[in-house]
Structure 1
């Protein structure tokens, strides 16, 4: 009887310790939550991948993001998507409208990154931008140069993209805030667009380090 009780106590303690380790001392319960916490604690530099897009020459992503002046809100999409990407597009349209009505407009910008470089050529991205009524002074579109660099970018920012076997993708949807140094510093759910915008505005208003 005593042996059984001790065994049960040991299992409880072991389970508690494992849960504490997996959830960062119970601060998160999901992989997405862990991702957000890790980014907040340790910003992630933009990986050394090259991107291009409408009106933009081929250049390192870090160069595009780390201009020392602006904070960028980033999402990951593909232009053929008829589900979550449309919701993200609507969110970005609303963010663009909000940025056009305040003085943060010149210090906060939007960037949509395609993870489908084969289909999402600069021409395809240009057409998509037109359908989204994107103002290129506030909202730009890019893709990584090839599939290998795309995977490198997705891995660095922990963006999950899984082919569904029918030519489309399942993927997580989030708003990534990149600071003036080109580092991913916060991740918000796309339903938290106001939080993402407020954080980006605040970050952009801080004195340069």
Structure 2
């Protein structure tokens, strides 16, 4: 009996080691990299620059990075958009931009951000409209869109806006919000790019 116990001990120890290693590998490659679902993206109703009505949920099927901004913003918004353009260009190199990944920018200043103003903003910062949806609407619609996404926006007397600096959100193919990021100088560009790639590989 003692001989049998001694014979089975290394086998049992080996199996336990394999289970432990397998669990660690699973956690690292699946559990660690997998992004949790934080909320359901709202089905906001807005318009393209050509006046076409758009339902956010209709664009399911792609990973989307959603930004709230206004074109006259002196700092946070243009820095965020410029960072997004960096990611856009990297995704284009892989043939993913516009096919599997889409960026969405929603103005919360539709009175001043006319289609022409937004087009100028997009051209100046290097936005590629083939994979980047630029949305607007009435003040009521854009305000509701921001609120539905959990973004705080307050219009000041001088025409500027106070808004959440965490109003950049990553949405998966099934309209689930998977992560929210800081905007401006604090935007974690590499993390955003990595998270997009992880969602594509889920």
Same fold flag (TM > 0.5)? yes
Cα 1:45–1:89 shift into 2, 3 Å: closer
Could you list the runs of 4 or more consecutive aligned residues of structure 1 that deviate by over 6 angstroms after TM superposition?
A: none
TM-score by length of 2: 0.72
Alignment of 1:28-43 (within 5 A): 40=36, 42-43=38-39
Of the candidates 104, 120, 125, which is equivalent to residue 111 of structure 1? 104
Distance 1:41 1:99, change over 3 A: closer
Shift of the 57–93 alpha-carbon distance from structure 1 to 2, 3 Å rule, reads same
1:182 aligned to which of 175, 191, 202: 175
From the superposition, tell whether residues 153 and 182 of structure 1 become closer, same or farther in structure 2 (CA, over 3 Å): same
1:205 aligns with 201
The 8 Å contact of residues 44 and 156 in structure 1, kept in 2 or not, is answered as no
- What is the correspondence of 1:164-183 to structure 2 with a 5 Å cutoff? 164-174=156-166, 175-183=168-176
Closer, same or farther in 2 for the Cα pair 1:189/1:40, shift >3 Å?
farther
What does 1:21-170 align with in structure 2 at a 5 Å threshold?
A: 40=36, 42-47=38-43, 49-55=44-50, 57-64=52-59, 66=60, 68=61, 70-105=62-97, 106-143=99-136, 145-170=137-162
- Write the deviation string for residues 62-84 of structure 1: whole angstroms up to 9, x where unpaired: 223x1x2x101111100111111
Give deviations 1:112-160, integer Å, cap 9, x for gaps: 11111222222222221111121111223111x2222222211221111
State the 1:185 CA deviation: 2.0
Q: How many residues align?
A: 163
Q: Flag the 1:55–1:197 CA change in 2: closer, same or farther, 3 A.
A: farther
